[in-house]
Amino acid sequence: MWYHRLSHLHSRLQDLLKGGVIYPALPQPNFKSLLPLAVHWHHTASKSLTCAWQQHEDHFELKYANTVMRFDYVWLRDHCRSASCYNSKTHQRSLDTASVDLCIKPKTIRLDETTLFFTWPDGHVTKYDLNWLVKNSYEGQKQKVIQPRILWNAEIYQQAQVPSVDCQSFLETNEGLKKFLQNFLLYGIAFVENVPPTQEHTEKLAERISLIRETIYGRMWYFTSDFSRGDTAYTKLALDRHTDTTYFQEPCGIQVFHCLKHEGTGGRTLLVDGFYAAEQVLQKAPEEFELLSKVPLKHEYIEDVGECHNHMIGIGPVLNIYPWNKELYLIR
């Protein structure tokens, strides 16, 4: 029954291409309900932002920038950025986490402007900027979007008139590369024009973006409709909307396509914003969105053609979301 329902929902992702979605606002905790009757808070004003904090027996509680945050003392000691605890050149911890007493708590806490100072039982002092604490708190992460996106269908994308980037500008200037990356990160697709039709030039462009990943197809590959591999892409059959490499444990994040030669008719490129479609599911059928984001499926690629014998298996839900803020980041 679950299989049939998932198959039905998977097909709906391809059809839902209009409308928008409004994320429900995250509930704000009742600040007063968190406090015992006899608790006394420390209040101060910091650059027009009110700061209030309370030292509990097993944790530190902070109210700042409209956010109520809780920090375990072990976490605060372990994340100390002093020279003896953290190597700022390598961005790696020097402190041995196992050496921190699990029952540790600070002797004193004081605030100076926008910096909190914790003095520990051994006399060591840890200092934290208030904004750093907001950014790295569990509560702050819930309010933060990891990757802002512009969701689109055909009409929205056409109206946006997203410009392409010239090959020379892309390769030789930081501004050209920046323009391409901005388009790619916001829309999920981006175009480079006037690229010489060779595999070598395609590789050069790909290396300008990132490292090229080795796969079962090789590092770079050339394909045409000759069925040299056991994949529909190597035939003359049309490919409808789909995502590639779902059978990898970590599907490819960026794919680069370059048409080197075209003869005859056909070969139309169809691009769909899967994140837009997923948001339609979230708006119209939130319980089905939850199902698609929680139930892991086995994604397989089986190939037995010529000398190519591969059986790849990747396991994961159709929709992958960050658990702390429910942000969608990957579609299989």
Bridge partners, 45 (sequence order): 50
Domain pair 51-136 / 195-331, same fold? no
For helices 2-15 and 286-294, angle between their N-to-C axes, nearest 10 degrees: 110
Name the residue among 68, 39, 44, 69 with its Cα closest to residue 56: 39
Contacts from 258-264 at CB under 8 Å and sequence distance 24+?
Answer: 258/195, 258/197, 258/201, 258/202, 258/205, 259/197, 260/197, 260/198, 260/199, 260/202, 260/222, 261/197
Cα gap 86→2, rounded to integer Å: 49
pLDDT at res. 6:
43
Name the residue among 71, 85, 68 with its Cα closest to residue 126: 85
Span between the terminal Cα atoms of the chain, in Å? 20
pLDDT at res. 226:
66
Q: CA-based angle 163:168:169, to the nearest 5? A: 50
> What does DSSP assign to residue 84?
T
pLDDT, averaged across the chain: 85
Give the pLDDT band (50/70/90) at residue 84.
very high
What is the three-state SS of 214-265? CECCECCCCCCCCCCCCCHHHCCCCCCCCCCCCCCCCCCCCCCCCCCCCCCC
Mean pLDDT of the 67-75 span: 96
Sign of the alpha-carbon torsion through 211, 268, 228, 331: positive
Instruction: Tell me how far the alpha carbon of residue 238 is from its chain's centroid.
Output: 31
Is pLDDT at 131 greater than 70 in this prediction?
yes
What are the boundaries of each domain within the chain?
A: 51-136, 195-331
| pTM attached to this predicted model | 0.74
pLDDT digits (tens, 9 = 90+) for 2-13: 444 444 444 444
Q: Does domain 51-136 have CATH number 1.10.260.40?
A: no
pLDDT digits (tens, 9 = 90+) for 11-43: 444 444 343 333 333 333 333 333 333 345 666
Task: Please provide the CATH number assigned to the domain covering 195-331.
Answer: 3.60.130.10
Using only C-alpha atoms, what is the Rg of the chain? Answer: 26
- How many beta carbons lie within 10 A of that of residue 254, not counting itself? 12
